[in-house]
Amino acid sequence: MTHLYQRLPLRHKQLLIAVSVVTGFLFLLPSDNAKASKSTDSASTLEVAKRYTVDVPTTNIAPTAGSSLAPMSRLPEAPSHVTPQAIPHRSTEVLANSTTKVEPSGTALKQMDSLHWKKVKVKSGDNLALIFNRAGFSAKTLHKITSLGKATSALRKIMPGQVIHFGANSEQELVKLKYQQDIINTLEITKVDDKFTVEKVTKDLETRERIASATINSNFWNAAVDAGLEASVIMNLANIFGWDIDFGLDIRQGDHFSLVYETKYLDGVEVKTGKILAAEFINQGRSYQAIRHTDGEYYSATGRSMRKAFLRAPVNFKYISSNFNPRRLHPVTGRVKAHNGIDYAAKTGTPVVAAGSGTVIASAYNKYNGNYVFIKHGEKYVTKYLHLSKKFVRKGAKVKQGQRIGNVGATGRVTGAHLHYEFLVNGSHRNPRTVKLPKSQSIDRDEKSAFLAIASNRMEQLSANQRVMLATNNE
């Protein structure tokens, strides 16, 4: 600095000395207190470097159209110690809270919409542990679900080919499981607050009625299939009339049947068939009618039960290999020996059922009858079943009509697999095909008038359908 000063012109040196002298003199003078005022009031003064509170006037601001902010009047008034800088932050927080509404159901639905779904098809040999592992979920998750008890027991009955749907969130946690048990029932397991809840969702089926009829040209089964009937309906129809008609022997060309039955619809689509409500079968010119009552049983149009004390045939046979014949020539010995029953030819293992309810009085084996079972029905009737491959009942057992008592076989003195069936009345053999069976019971007297009205309407329904079909066929 000294070297620079010596190089300055003389005039500049003199000016610099004068400025320095004046500046030094000013620093030596005493200073006054600082004052500030909006008015001439000397009391309204502010001190330097001191904080002061300021009263800020509030203003109600109406929100503009489409604004998400709530009116400012909803805000609480700021206390006197709050600084102006704190007010905007406080306002923003309260406004945000005032416009956010939490809807649990909506939140849950939104969460379900965002789930990632995985479909797992059950394979042969699968169990729940394998299925959950394949879906990417832990044994701990499976344990939580199976610990819910009977509500989830349906999962233990899964079958190959069935499908389980798993819904997971973004953290790959199981939130929803759906298992459709059948066409109307779905098991839904949902995770709520780290716990699983179970709900069985059942869809309502719409029930409609359908009428079908056919004339038999070749055999009953083919005629029924051509009429659009499913196998279950065909078998039910045969069972209803099975006490009066032997569908293996009595059916003739030209026989006719009509029926009204239920069909079940789900969302407008037919999914299954239901009960037969009424039916008529004309066999060899004789009419048999059956109407379903509220007790689930079928009765004739006059109110007599279709269920007889005995079945005409206790086995589903292919053909009769030997009829009832008191002077039949025995196929093994060649001697004349009475054939006191009917031989129903059928494959070994074909189920044999009790023709009527009763008590087993014999269940044994000998070289002539092979495995055999005798059943006593009251004091008057006895039925016998010979040449069985297996017996399923013991002496003294109580059996019900239609209960399986054995299988068709070829035990004893026989030439092939068949069931030899005998029917005794008061100790005398009768032809099982032609014996007059005990009369059936009538419907309860208190219910008969109401039933007869329903039966009349059902029979008219079938008759009207038959007239329409005849008219259509004649066109």
Q: Which of 248, 239, 235, 237 is nearest to 213 (CA)?
A: 237
Residue 332, pLDDT above cutoff 70 = no
Find the angle CA(341)-CA(383)-CA(296) to the nearest 5 degrees: 120
Find the angle CA(99)-CA(101)-CA(102) to the nearest 5 degrees: 150
pLDDT tens for 16-69 read: 777 776 666 666 665 554 444 444 444 445 555 455 555 544 444 344 333 333
Q: Which of 90-104, 126-140, 206-220 has the lowest mean pLDDT?
A: 90-104
Q: Decide which of 90 and 107 is more confident.
A: 107
Residue 457 belongs to what H/E stretch? helix 445-474
DSSP state of 329: B
Range 306-337 burial, b when 16+ CB lie within 10 A, else e: bbbbbbbbbbbbeebbbebeeeeeeeeeeeee
Residue 391 belongs to what H/E stretch? strand 381-391
- 20 contacts: CB under 8 Å, gap ≥ 6: none
Residue 197 belongs to what H/E stretch? strand 195-202
Is 261 in contact with 209 (CB distance < 8 Å)? yes
pTM of the model: 0.55
**How many angstroms from the chain centroid is the CA of residue 437?**
43
pLDDT tens for 404-415 read: 999 999 999 888
- The identity of residue 303, as a single letter, is G
- Using only C-alpha atoms, the chain has a radius of gyration, in whole angstroms, of 48
| 343 three-class SS | strand
Is 297 in contact with 305 (CB distance < 8 Å)? yes
pLDDT tens for 254-281 read: 999 999 999 999 888 888 899 999 999 9
pLDDT tens for 204-216 read: 889 999 999 999 9
| 149 three-class SS | helix
DSSP 233-283: HHHHHHHHHTTT--TTTT--TT-EEEEEEEEEEETTEEEEEEEEEEEEEEE
- 170 contacts: CB under 8 Å, gap ≥ 6: 114, 116
State the Cα–Cα distance between residues 375 and 421, nearest whole angstrom.
11
Provide mean pLDDT across the span 227-251: 88
The first and second tokens of residue 466, run together, are 């038959």
State the Cα–Cα distance between residues 213 and 279, nearest whole angstrom.
9
Q: Which domains does the chain have, with CATH numbers?
A: 114-202 (3.10.450.350), 205-307+440-475 (3.10.450.350), 319-430 (2.70.70.10)
Q: Which of 119-123, 185-189, 251-255, 331-335 has the lowest mean pLDDT?
A: 331-335
Give whole-number Cα distances, 193 to 102, 197, 403, 428, 466, in Å: 16, 10, 52, 76, 63
| 7 three-class SS | helix
pLDDT value at position 73? 33
Is 439 in contact with 300 (CB distance < 8 Å)? no
Provide mean pLDDT across the span 311-315: 83
State the Cα–Cα distance between residues 323 and 292, nearest whole angstrom.
34
Provide mean pLDDT across the span 426-432: 90
pLDDT tens for 100-116 read: 333 334 555 555 568 89
Residue 359, pLDDT above cutoff 70 = yes
State the Cα–Cα distance between residues 242 and 298, nearest whole angstrom.
12
State the Cα–Cα distance between residues 175 and 114, nearest whole angstrom.
11
pLDDT value at position 419? 93
Find the angle CA(158)-CA(160)-CA(161) to the nearest 5 degrees: 105
Confidence of residue 315 (pLDDT cuts 50, 70, 90): confident
Backbone angles phi, psi at 442, to 5 degrees: -85, 165
Is 345 in contact with 331 (CB distance < 8 Å)? no
| 191 three-class SS | strand
Is 448 in contact with 303 (CB distance < 8 Å)? yes
Provide mean pLDDT across the span 427-440: 84
Is 350 in contact with 431 (CB distance < 8 Å)? no
- The identity of residue 310, as a single letter, is F
pLDDT value at position 175? 93
pLDDT tens for 280-309 read: 999 999 999 999 999 899 999 999 988 888
Q: Which of 70, 86, 461, 107 is nearest to 258 (CA)?
A: 461
